[in-house]
Amino acid sequence: MTLDELKAKLDEFSPVKVEFVSRMVDSLSRPPRADTTGETWVTASPEWVEYFGLALSVHHGATPEPLALTAFEAVFRNACEYVRWLTDPPGSLTRRFVDVTVDAAGEMRKLSLKSTAARKLSESTIHISKLTEAAWIQDARTPSARRDAMLTLFREYREAVNAILMLRAFRQGTDVPPRRYQLVEIPGRVFDSIQDASLRDFERDAPVIECWMDGEPVAYVAVDRSDAKITVRRIQLSACTVHAEWSQIWTRKEIDAVEREDVEDALKQVLLAETDKRPPSENRGPTREELLTRYKLQRKKWRTLQSRTPPTPRLATGAVFGLWILVHNSPTEPTPLIGHPLADKRATLGLWRFCERVVPPVEYQHLAN
């Protein structure tokens, strides 16, 4: 869709739709900061990284809740589609373990997707609370049975999965969005050394197997007997690939606060600029201190106005319009608005005209009817 086509669509929207879109635009105008440490198959496409960050902005424009697994998969697929990476249709896979296959830069990758927003995430290690189910653990009564079942499970896992892609949300509380998102790829070969585990490693009813890669211990695979699942503990971040991080996530409340402060700051600058224009010897007009006093009063009025629900504006024809405007007058003299035109398109500059209203000096007025 072109920009002109988008504008044409907006012209047809109801006031509710316009307000909804404006909130999304506000969120998109303040995207999170994306940081990449090097080129990977993901960051080789800056558009993919940008698209994913914008999706985070829209998500947190509506809720402080972290992006959960289902939403993560949807956003991942949408970003891939935008940069023309081929993915399998959602729900098309019948084999275990794999959530999505993606063809990026001519290489097919079979990925398992995970997400976490656990409290106090480590900066150096990763924890997967459930890699996969392990119902067999209830029937495996001997070390030999447990070993055979575990080795078979991870042979099948490695045949199906190239890597695990995990989205980690670092959060400081439940009422604010995560301060940072981290997209990490855990290589499947982390689990290859399990095939070399000895029978002694499976003597416990809930065995914990140390995993090695390139001569270094990189993770611990544990069988959770109570929940019949496989967990992976203390995966070393140094053994993984950090594709990108997104920080400085904005909420709707924060965006509104910044916009209010922007208006207040603009008002203050206008008032102070008026005194700077006068020659020092000129005593006419309000002093700088008086203007600052007026500014504080206007700020109080503005904040009171912002705390109220604006009335639905109606034009002279009786038609309902979904916006309101704020008019400022310089501190010299009252200004009548009657007869002045107002329009939303250059082709119809005289579409509306102000009613009989006078804006006093150094004043902001909220016009909605």
Domain co-membership, 227 together with 289: no
Cβ–Cβ under 8 Å, residues 110 and 101: yes
Classify residue 14: in a domain, yes or no. Answer: no
> What's the confidence (pLDDT) of residue 294?
66
Q: Is residue 318 part of a domain?
A: yes
Of the listed ranges 162-171, 264-273, 287-296, 312-321, the one predicted with least confidence? 312-321
Label residue 134 exposed, middle or buried (CB < 10 Å: 0-12, 13-18, 19+): buried
Give me the number of domains the chain comprises: 2
Mean pLDDT to the nearest integer, 205-223: 92
Are 266 and 290 in a shared domain? Answer: yes
**In this predicted structure, what is the pLDDT of residue 315?**
40
For residues 167 and 182, the answer to whether their CB atoms sit within 8 Å is yes
Burial class (CB in 10 A: 0-12, 13-18, 19+), 190: buried
Same domain, 273 and 167: no
Do residues 143 and 265 share a domain? no
Distance of CA 179 to the CA centre of its chain: 10
What pLDDT was estimated at residue 309? Answer: 47
**Sequence-ordered strand ranges (E) for the chain:** 33-35, 86-87, 100-104, 107-116, 125-133, 163-170, 180-187, 208-213, 216-224, 229-236, 241-247, 325-329, 335-336, 341-342, 352-353, 358-359, 363-367
Distance between CA atoms of 346 and 352, rounded to whole angstroms?
A: 12
> Under a CB-based contact definition with an 8 Å cutoff, are residues 357 and 336 in contact?
yes
> What's the whole-number average pLDDT of the chain?
79
* pLDDT confidence of residue 287: 58
Same domain as 162, residue 262: no
Angle value at C-alpha 104, between 103 and 107, nearest 5 degrees: 65
Task: Calculate mean pLDDT across residues 39-43.
Answer: 92
Q: Give the DSSP letter of residue 322.
A: S
Note down the domain range covering 303: 252-367
Do residues 286 and 220 both lie within one domain?
no
Whether pLDDT at 76 is above 80: yes
Of the three residues 194, 225, 247, the one that is the final residue of a domain is 247
Residues 99 and 236 in one domain: yes
Same domain, 73 and 146: yes
Q: Give the integer Cα–Cα distance in Å for 124 and 239.
A: 10
Same-domain check for residues 232 and 113: yes
Indicate whether 207 belongs to any domain. Answer: yes
* pLDDT tens-digit map of 9-23: 888 888 888 888 887
Lowest-pLDDT range of 90-94, 184-188, 316-320: 316-320
Each residue's pLDDT tens digit, 126-171: 999 999 988 888 888 899 999 999 999 999 999 999 999 999 999 8
Residue 24 lies in a domain: no
Per residue in 249-281, pLDDT tens?
665 555 555 555 555 555 556 555 555 555 555
Last residue of a domain, one of 229, 247, 265: 247
In a domain, 304, yes or no: yes
Nearest to 225 by CA among 311, 300, 315, 139: 139
Q: What is the pLDDT of residues 49-69, one digit of tens each?
A: 999 999 998 898 888 889 999
Is 261 found in the same domain as 118? no
Judgement on whether residues 42 and 133 belong to the same structural domain of the protein:
yes
Chain centroid, CA 276 distance in Å: 42
* % of the chain surpassing 90 pLDDT: 40
Q: What is the pTM of this model?
A: 0.67
Domain co-membership, 277 together with 223 = no
Domain boundary among 247, 269, 298: 247
